[in-house]
Amino acid sequence: MPPQRHAVREPERAGRFYSGLFQWTEHEIGGIPPAKERNPQIPPHWLVYFHVTNCDESVAKAKQLGATAMGPAISMEDVGRWAVLADPQGATFAIFEPAPHG
């Protein structure tokens, strides 16, 4: 399953629900971020991340095919590089290039 992120108004409540339902362990990366990081203008949602081998090339290709980048790609040491996009119909998704692990 690709990594996913869930943005909600009540992260603790959502964490209890999904932990109970799927026996998931909560963590911020690929999980439920703290409420202080949530934009109140954006409704609760799931964000699916698709694994790619090259984030920047995938962003360029997606844009060529009509996608819109929702912001610049972001890198995190020892995690990887990702970008959030909207397809030509406005559906949002993210792409994720994991950091190499030697």
**pLDDT score, position 5:** 62
- pTM of the entire predicted model: 0.70
**Cross-strand pairs, 96:** 51, 82
The reported pLDDT for the residue numbered 1 is 40
Q: What is the pLDDT of residue 2?
A: 44
pLDDT digits (tens, 9 = 90+) for 55-76: 999 999 999 999 999 999 999 9
Residues 44, 58: one domain? Answer: no
Question: How many domains is the chain built from?
Answer: 2
Structure tokens belonging to residue 61 = 């290709």
Q: Nearest 10 degrees: CA dihedral of 30, 32, 35, 41?
A: 80
Residue 75 belongs to domain with CATH number: 3.10.180.10
Half-sphere exposure of residue 18, counting CA atoms within 13 Å on the CB side? Answer: 18
Please tell me whether residues 71 and 89 are part of one structural domain.
yes
The parts of the chain modelled with pLDDT lower than 70 are: 1-6, 22, 26-31, 102
Same domain, 15 and 57: no
Range list of H helices, 1-86: 11-22, 55-64
pLDDT of residue 96: 94
Task: Let me know whether 62 and 21 are in one domain.
Answer: no
Write out the residue range of the structural domain in which residue 90 sits. 52-102
Question: Is residue 32 domain-shared with residue 69, that is, in the same domain?
Answer: no
The answer on 43 and 68 residing in a single domain is: no
Do 22 and 58 lie in one domain? The reply is: no
Quick one: 58 and 102 in the same domain? yes
Same domain, 42 and 2: yes
